[in-house]
Amino acid sequence: MAKYFVLFGPPGVGKGTQAERLQKELKLAHVATGDLFRDHLKRETDLGQLARSYMERGALVPDDVTIGMVRERMKDADTQNGMLLDGFPRTIAQAEALDRLLAEKGDKIQHVLFVNAPKQVLLERLGSRWTCKQCGKVYNALSQPPKVHGVCDDCSGEVYQRPDDKPEVQEKRINVYLEQTAPLIEYFRGLGQLTEINGVQSVDQVYSDLMKAIERSGQ
Ligand code: AP5
Ligand code: MG
């Protein structure tokens, strides 16, 4: 049976960092809606143009657009054994749509892994994050810089600061998370699917806690 995990948490908590490791261990497709939008931006598609106007100001892209994009991604062969979702769902409407999409395949979400950290930690991490423009690999200027300044270790792509990591947009994204996405915590808790993980630990320790939570859930 296919497996579906959701990596849930505020901007900058480390979802992408953990997903890179988890997807290898769990052998699941990593489906990150932020990465999918950034890929559309790079390819200058109509969807990318539309998403840009929301992403640049730290707002959520409308639900119908986001859900449609995930529905398309779910047709790809690499998702047939399941997915590690990162940054989706982000609203109740998205969560309900995901349930419907999975139910059509006779599947459901196995586990929501909620990584959490206080706002000050999020701002520090976002302020020092650098990202590969080509492959999306995440770095940190303070704790995890690329070996050669500005160059991705994996693909030699350009390492840049995401436009939505500017201070004024960071703050907005955290507020949007608190208003529109945090209500999902109770939604998932109500379904008995949620485990909370302390994100204020080393990358290795967070990873270890995530794996323990997955093992405990018997998945
Ligand atoms: P998205 O790309 O999903 O951004 P986000 O949720 O704001 O999350 P981030 O990618 O900023 O943080 P992260 O948790 O992945 O942290 P990371 O691992 O990079 O979304 C961007 C935009 O796209 C949204 O604002 C919206 O406009 C749109 N969008 C996306 N999905 C959408 C949806 N479903 N609906 C509508 N719109 C959507 O780590 C951050 C930094 O911390 C890095 O430098 C890392 O090295 C460092 N770090 C990580 N872990 C640790 C640790 N344990 N200790 C120290 N440093 C650490
Ligand atoms: Mg991310």
Note the pLDDT tens digit of each residue in 95-134: 999 999 999 999 999 999 999 999 999 999 999 999 999 9
The catalytic residue among 3, 57, 162, 189 is 162
Task: Tell me if 97 sits within 8 A of 63, measured CB to CB.
Answer: yes
> How many CB atoms lie under 10 A from the CB of residue 80?
12
Question: What tokens appear for 23 in the block?
Answer: 């997807």
> Is the model's pLDDT at 219 over the cut of 70?
no
Ligand 1 atom closest to Cα of residue 202: 53
> Is the model's pLDDT at 11 over the cut of 90?
yes
Ligand 1 atom closest to Cα of residue 18: 18
Instruction: Examine the residue annotation and report whether 90 is marked as an active-site residue of this protein.
Output: yes
- What amino acid occupies position 10? P
Look up the pTM and report it. 0.96
Task: Tell me if 207 sits within 8 A of 21, measured CB to CB.
Answer: yes
Question: What tokens appear for 96 in the block?
Answer: 């309900």
Query: How many residues make up the chain in this entry?
Result: 219
Indicate whether residue 40 lines ligand 1 (CB < 6 A): no
37, 55, 117, 122, 128 from 166: Cα distances, Å: 18, 12, 19, 13, 10
User: What structural domains does the chain harbor?
Assistant: 3-117+178-216 (3.40.50.300)
